[in-house]
Structure formats: C-alpha cells, structure tokens
C-alpha cells in the first residue's frame, strides 16, 4: 500500500524554512541549510564519529540508536528498521515512491514544523535516503534529549514524578490540537526529564490530519501500553495517574472531536 503524505497545516518557518536537499551519489540528504555545518554520509556512520574522536554509545532496541557527543552537540542517529514478522523478510528496505514520500524525509519535515511550533520534540538535524532501484534505506539524525528517561522506565522503578501524569495529558492534547496523529503513542516514546516535564519521540509514519477518531484511538493505545508495561515489570497499573492524565487532556483547550 502506498504511503500517504501528511496534510500540511503547520507553516514553514525556522528550521522548516531553512531546509535544503543535498544530492549524493546514491540518494539525498535533507538538512537545515547549514545550521549544523555541511552534511555528508559520515554524519550517519558511527565509525566516522569514532575516527574523529567523538564519544559514541548505543541505545539498544529495534533499530538501535547511536548517541554521538561531539563539539557540535549531542545527536541521536537512527537507522530505519521494520518491526514484527515482516522484519524477517525485509529488515530495513522500503519501496521507493518518491524522495519526499520516504519515511526519513517525511519525519524530518514534520519534526521541523513541530519544533518550530515549540512542541517538545527532538530537533531534526539531517535525514538520509540511499536508493537502489525500486527500494531505499533511510537514516535520521536528531538532537539527543539529555537528562531524560522513558516513561516506561519511571513506571518500572515506581518513580513517576509528581504531577507528571497531568503534564503528559496536556502534552498529548497539545499535539492533537496541532493535528498530529502519532501512530505509536506508548510509554516507550514518552520521555520525562528530572522535573517530570514530558517530550515525545518517534514520529515515523506520524501525520498531520483533521480532528477525528484517531485522537481517542491514540489515548486508547497509550492506556494499553501503560497496562502492558505494568504487567511486564510487575508493577501496579496506576489507575489514578491515568485518570489524572485523561482529565488534563480533556481540560486542555477546546473540547476534542
């Protein structure tokens, strides 16, 4: 099935307005017009950063993320990989339907608009697409949100900061009010810093859409995730925390559709 391009509702300004595409020998790199220097393929390779003396570490998981500390900042480098059963057949290859429809370019451009709008997301640095005939592979570099942990980790340690549930509810509502349909709204993609301030990760296949049932579906997805994390970690599902999250979501802004 062809991938749909997102509905454009956020204006181009800031990072989004600076976007440039650099053509490479086998694809292209999308970047913020030199804000972080002139991009090249080495930016996406851990070995390059090790050669120049940067600190490189890996965050395990599906599509392991490299965290690179260098004089220009701390970046997270993610190679796009499939999950589920399909990953056994085509782990990290995708069907080519045009450069702007690739997963990396769509996620970069959406993150740029969300970052420009002041929403709590990583800043997009660069996206790379490498094409071989009808297929492509993709990589994304964003800023690394330091001093944060996944909500799932806080739950596992029974240390969710006071007031965090309400802040998460208001954050989710802020994204929904901007028309952001996040397809994987889970405890693993919500980060909290030491003050309990939330941020949202992983906008692969996210889209900008008019208000609809997807909002309630997103909340239901999050509740299932919270219950699953509690079950897997042997902790108690925080029903009061969930109710506080939902109340904050409902109380923020105009009534949701």
Residue with tokens 């292209």, as numbered in its chain: 28
Backbone angles phi, psi at 11, to 5 degrees: -70, 155
- The one catalytic residue in 12, 41, 177, 184 is 184
Q: How many CA atoms lie within 13 A of 217 on its CB side?
A: 9
Tell me the C-alpha distance between 221 and 216, whole Å.
9
Annotate 66-80 with b (16+ C-beta within 10 A) or e (fewer): bbbeeeeeebbbbbb
Q: Are 156 and 235 in contact (CB under 8 A)?
A: yes
Q: Annotated catalytic, 184?
A: yes
Between the CA of residue 163 and those of 74, 205, 220, 251, what are the distances in Å?
Answer: 28, 30, 21, 15
Collapsed DSSP state (helix, strand, coil) of residue 110: helix
243: how many CB neighbours lie within 10 A of its CB? 12
Which helix (H) or strand (E) segment holds residue 149: the answer is: strand 148-150
Burial status of residue 188 (CB atoms within 10 A of its CB: 0-12, 13-18, 19 or more): middle
List active site positions: 184
């Amino acid at each position: 099935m062809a991938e749909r391009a997102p509905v454009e509702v956020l204006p181009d300004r800031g990072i989004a307005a600076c976007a440039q595409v650099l053509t490479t020998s086998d694809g292209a790199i999308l970047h913020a017009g030199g804000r972080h220097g002139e991009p090249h393929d080495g930016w996406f390779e851990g070995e390059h950063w090790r050669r120049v003396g940067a600190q490189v570490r890996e965050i395990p998981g599906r599509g392991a993320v490299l965290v690179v500390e260098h004089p220009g900042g701390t970046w997270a480098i993610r190679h796009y990989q499939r999950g589920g059963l399909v990953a056994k057949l085509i782990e990290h290859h995708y069907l080519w339907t045009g450069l702007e429809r690739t997963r990396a370019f769509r996620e970069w451009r959406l993150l740029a608009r969300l970052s420009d709008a002041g929403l709590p997301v990583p800043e997009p640095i660069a996206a790379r697409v490498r094409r071989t005939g009808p297929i492509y592979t993709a990589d994304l570099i964003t800023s690394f949100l330091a001093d944060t942990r996944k909500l799932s980790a806080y739950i596992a340690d029974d240390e969710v900061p006071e007031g965090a549930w309400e802040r998460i509810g208001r954050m989710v509502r802020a994204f929904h009010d901007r028309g952001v349909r996040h397809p994987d709204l889970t405890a693993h993609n919500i980060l909290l810093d030491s003050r309990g301030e939330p941020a949202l990760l992983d906008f692969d296949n996210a889209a900008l859409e008019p208000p609809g049932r997807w909002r309630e579906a997103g909340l239901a997805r999050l509740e299932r995730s919270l219950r699953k994390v509690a079950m897997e970690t042997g902790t108690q599902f925080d029903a009061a925390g969930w109710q506080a999250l939902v109340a904050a979501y409902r109380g923020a802004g105009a009534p949701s559709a």
